[in-house]
Structure 1
Amino acid sequence: MAFMRTSKFRHVFGKALRKDQCYDNIRITKSSWDSTFCCVNPKFVAIITEAAGGGAFLVLPVNKVGRVERDVPLVAGHKAAVLDINWCPHNDQIIASASEDCTVKIWEIPDEGLVKNLTESVVDLVAHQRRVGQVVWHPTANNVLLSAGSDNKIFIWNVGTAEVLTEIDTPDLTLSASFNYNGSKLVITNKDKMMRLIDPRTGEITAEVQAHHGAKPSQAVYLKEGKIFTTGFSRMSERQYALWDEKDLSKPLVMEEIDNSNGVIFPFYDADTSMVYLCGKGDSLIRYYEVTEEAPYVHYLNLFQSSDPQRGIGYMPKRGLNVNACEIARFYKLLNSGLCEIIPFTVPRKSELFQDDLYPDTAGDVPAISAEEWHAGKNADPILISLKDGYKPVKKEGIKAVKKSEALTKMPSKKPASSTAAQDHSEEASEAASSGPAHPPENAKPVPSGQVEGFDSQALLEDIRKLKLIVKAHERRIKTLEDKLAQFEANSPDEEEQEDQA
């Protein structure tokens, strides 16, 4: 006699809200890039839109449902299509966008939402040579952002200073990237069918394996306790999921076929409930599973089915859910018709009291460590909050948009601010001097000698940073040309050999 496994999530069910409770009339992007095109947080929903002559995305307050006006204000500062967007987990008004114009931009959305087009970003992150397709925030460190581009590079940024902390060369295009629970490790999937584990501080590839054998894109997400969940395709183009242990990638703990559809499956992971939701592009289904510590590890729970296929999907963080209705997940599903459908997933309970077993303490919006501490080698788990009395956002300082490199709020520093600025200034100045002469940027401002009063150190630091980027680009180009020359010389026969042959 077979026993049914008991789980409090066996009866989770999803039910889409009525059309008038959703967002309608959105010009959703027609891009073929494999992205979710939508991201949400407790304050805003952001959706990449179709824009002529540039890249734009829409930001709406979560409670502003209904028909979206044709002339609604947009975030419209990119020169080419926007490919990915991601809300900062530690500040609900900060969003990062990646674009075909080779840049990553950081935006601050006003508290009440957009009242006019936003074209001025607070920080521009410029280092990629080709389009940027992924942006992922660090889960616990303040102002740390990952970007991955078609130049086969991953950059880990300190957004507060607009500096690159780590530059990682990858063998092929990066299709997905995910930090582990405390952000000390990174898993990526590449176009060459490989899944790689990386140390995000050093850029060292610590392990790699061919996760799925199919040619179509695979995705990976880091789970708790060192597990990794992947989705991809078999050689016969069947869709699969697999679970791996980071300590031994020689074979998966589980690998199962799902179906024969051809859309990329995006996995969404809830660390509090150990549930994984699988949303396929072009599907009309959302499947959900529970991951446990003992075999068979991944347990199928149920699926949500609707009549319309999804063009993109957004996943609400736990802080934004209605705990009084026993809501454990909420998805924002983009349809080809221009509708953004809201689908809450709930666990049926008769009691109206707070359900402790459904809502263990969850990650809050306060960073555990600063970017500098993380880069120096410190690790910290997310700071957890209770949802018993509902989520209350922590008051954030305003952004100082005047000084671009100080655009994002910094963690309190242990050193006096003046000594830190002076030290950074001297370090950057000496590094720029050793790099040799380069053409100054067009907007570099000359600083009168001997001027101390009103001395703009930020402008100088910004100019030095741009000079360093120019020098780096020239160094890369010189190295490429030297390699080509060496290859040419190795392949061409010596003059003496040519004379002998003559």
Structure 2
Amino acid sequence: MCRAPAPPAGPARRAAREEAAALGAGTRPAARSAEPEPDATAAAATCAAVIKMSWNPQYRSSKFRHVFGKPASKENCYDSVPITHSVHDNHFCAVNPHFIAVVTECAGGGAFLVIPLHQVMIWNLDTKEVVIMSPVKTIDCHQDVILSMSFNTNGSLLATTCKDRKIRILDPRAGTVLQEASYKGHRANKVLFLGNLKKLLSTGTSRWNNRQMALWDQDDLSVPLTEEDLDGSSGVLFPFYDVDTNMLYVVGKGDGNIRYYEVSADKPHLSYLTEYRSYNPQKGIGVMPKRGLDVCSCEIFRFYKLITTKSLIEPVSMIVPRRSESYQEDIYPPTAGAQPSLTAQEWLRGMNKGPVLVSLRPGSGLLSPWPLTPERPLSNSMASVSPQLFDQTQKLAVEDGQRPFSLLSEKVPRWAAEHRLEEKKSWVTNGFDIFECPPPKTENELLQMFYRQQEEIRRLRELVAQREVLAKQLELEIKNLRMGSERF
């Protein structure tokens, strides 16, 4: 409760004596001024300010506020892996839906490469050559060892950090430096482009050797937008950004915890959510692409921790707690697929294009496929179909989760089609896609999957009914075209 400060003792006593004397004489006391005293006005304003501030929320509202990390059980971990004891600051692990690649400790010698550490080399992997002899571009604007690099979404910019602790933004095709950070208060170690936000995030140390992360505007590297000190540990911080959820995960080498934040274009740009804690420190870490996650359990990110002390690879899933068992559209927007949007030659010629997007809904396909190339001209009868009906056909195809229906033929290399068919066969076991949803292990999971299948069957029946209506409309169109041609 807010109280106004008491007035001085002298004026209060004098006013009381005057009022008592006036009442004793049978007269009315003199009317006081209607204006409040200055002290009372200030106290009232202070109370109003306190009440107003108390209504402001302390935390930013977010649907990812209660994301929690769930380590995999012992039978789902990878045991007896001789993880490397190298002291280099690297992830030592790469993951996709089919394989896990880990740098291991081995005795004796082996094949090795000697490469200059201050150069960035761009290689053309879209070739039939067994051995690639030379890169297509060499960028040698750095004066020391390169510590980190990151491409932006469409491949037009490349951000790097060097041992001189400076951040540089390069044109990867021309090899020229577009911007260079000269800020002395942050010594960068790792750098990362934050999707389409036109921002960079770097991790490193402050002037007082505290671990720190900084957010930058990619168009102005003079001063960071915000800085945040984390702790005084010495391990390198590895940032991982989820473009779909705008969540930032910060993993420290030698730490057991994983911090995660939500990134926004407005201030404050970084909003701390919570952290996953574990007693097992990680030597390195890998990340599963979005297309390999379990959408049935609302998993939005998955790490693979390399625990050297136990020779163990431990998956850690980041899960949004939801009661509904249906597919959650709000936490699974269209994401980048495995299909490239450009060839190597197109990129080298200066073309920029974002990734090909796919839907994570089970049974869905590409949302932004390659442009179709006509192999032969359309016949007159097919060209006379009304554009409204053609657009309606495309809309139905997209709703069905398939590629849009087209009257044009797509030109695809034979080896690509055979590889795609072979890859699809390896994903399907007994008619069940093992990467879209794992098989049920308990009776409860089996019942939940049964209900989801019933819902999918109802949706497919509705689509079949719509297609029947569309087929009848097409028959009427063809009949009208034939009648029109017979008249002439």
- The two structures have a TM-score, normalised by structure 1, of 0.59
C-alpha contact (below 8 Å) 1:193/1:213 kept by paired residues: no
Q: Does 1:30 align with 2:1?
A: no
The structural deviation recorded for 1:234 is 1.0
Cα distance change, pair 284–368 in 1 and its aligned pair in 2 (3 A): same
Residue 421 of structure 2 aligns with which residue? Answer: none
SS of alignment partner, residue 324 of structure 1: helix
Residue 120 of structure 2 aligns with which residue? Answer: 154
User: Residue deviations 1:428-461, cap 9 Å, x none?
Assistant: xxxxxxxxxxxxxxxxxxxxxxxxxxxxxxxxxx
Q: Does 1:173 align with 2:145?
A: yes
The structural deviation recorded for 1:412 is 6.0
Match of 2:252 among 275, 280, 283: 280
User: Residue deviations 1:240-288, cap 9 Å, x none?
Assistant: 0111001111111110100111000000111111111001100011000
Residue 219 of structure 2 aligns with which residue? Answer: 247
Cα distance change, pair 157–412 in 1 and its aligned pair in 2 (3 A): farther
C-alpha contact (below 8 Å) 1:37/1:313 kept by paired residues: yes
The percent identity for this pair of structures is 48
SS of alignment partner, residue 291 of structure 2: helix
Amino acid at match of 1:157: W
Match of 2:342 among 350, 369, 376: 369
For 1:100-499, list aligned pairs within 5 A. Answer: 101-102=113-114, 128=115, 130=116, 150=117, 152-161=118-127, 162=132, 163-169=134-140, 170-210=142-182, 213=185, 218-223=189-194, 224-336=196-308, 337-389=310-362
Residue 6 of structure 1 aligns with which residue? Answer: 61
C-alpha contact (below 8 Å) 1:326/1:347 kept by paired residues: yes
Structure 2: how far apart are the matches of 1:30 and 1:206? 37
C-alpha contact (below 8 Å) 2:211/2:233 kept by paired residues: yes
The structural deviation recorded for 1:5 is 1.5
| Higher Cα radius of gyration | 2
Please, which moves more after superposition, 328-337 or 202-211? 202-211
Structure 2: how far apart are the matches of 1:212 and 1:280? 23
The structural deviation recorded for 1:32 is 1.0
Q: Does 1:49 align with 2:22?
A: no
The structural deviation recorded for 1:211 is 5.7
SS of alignment partner, residue 254 of structure 2: coil
Structure 1: how far apart are the matches of 2:265 and 2:126? 38
The structural deviation recorded for 1:54 is 3.5
Cα distance change, pair 391–233 in 1 and its aligned pair in 2 (3 A): farther
C-alpha contact (below 8 Å) 2:295/2:360 kept by paired residues: yes
C-alpha contact (below 8 Å) 1:323/1:354 kept by paired residues: yes
Structure 2: how far apart are the matches of 1:383 and 1:343? 27
SS of alignment partner, residue 20 of structure 1: helix
C-alpha contact (below 8 Å) 2:182/2:222 kept by paired residues: no
Cα distance change, pair 204–7 in 1 and its aligned pair in 2 (3 A): same
Amino acid at match of 1:19: K
The structural deviation recorded for 1:305 is 0.5
C-alpha contact (below 8 Å) 2:301/2:318 kept by paired residues: yes
C-alpha contact (below 8 Å) 2:358/2:365 kept by paired residues: no
SS of alignment partner, residue 181 of structure 2: strand
Structure 2: how far apart are the matches of 1:321 and 1:240? 30
Say which structure is richer in strand: 1
Structure 2: how far apart are the matches of 1:287 and 1:21? 23
The structural deviation recorded for 1:225 is 2.3
The structural deviation recorded for 1:160 is 2.8
SS of alignment partner, residue 345 of structure 2: helix
Please, which moves more after superposition, 309-318 or 202-211? 202-211
Output the aligned Cα RMSD.
2.0
The structural deviation recorded for 1:171 is 1.7
Structure 1: how far apart are the matches of 2:363 and 2:288? 15
Amino acid at match of 1:367: P
C-alpha contact (below 8 Å) 1:333/1:343 kept by paired residues: yes
C-alpha contact (below 8 Å) 1:42/1:316 kept by paired residues: yes
C-alpha contact (below 8 Å) 2:94/2:101 kept by paired residues: yes
Structure 2 unmatched runs, 5+: 1-53, 367-410, 414-488
The structural deviation recorded for 1:172 is 1.4
Say which structure is richer in helix: 2
Cα distance change, pair 390–317 in 1 and its aligned pair in 2 (3 A): farther
Amino acid at match of 1:166: K
Structure 2: how far apart are the matches of 1:289 and 1:257? 14
Structure 2: how far apart are the matches of 1:312 and 1:388? 31
> How many residue pairs are counted as aligned between the two chains?
307
C-alpha contact (below 8 Å) 1:230/1:242 kept by paired residues: yes
Cα distance change, pair 212–13 in 1 and its aligned pair in 2 (3 A): farther
SS of alignment partner, residue 283 of structure 2: strand
The structural deviation recorded for 1:52 is 2.0
Cα distance change, pair 343–391 in 1 and its aligned pair in 2 (3 A): farther
The structural deviation recorded for 1:338 is 0.5
SS of alignment partner, residue 135 of structure 2: strand
Structure 1: how far apart are the matches of 2:183 and 2:291? 32
User: Residue deviations 1:329-373, cap 9 Å, x none?
Assistant: 000001122011110010000111110000000001111011000
SS of alignment partner, residue 240 of structure 1: strand
C-alpha contact (below 8 Å) 1:35/1:312 kept by paired residues: yes
The structural deviation recorded for 1:308 is 1.0
Structure 2: how far apart are the matches of 1:372 and 1:392? 26
C-alpha contact (below 8 Å) 2:235/2:253 kept by paired residues: yes
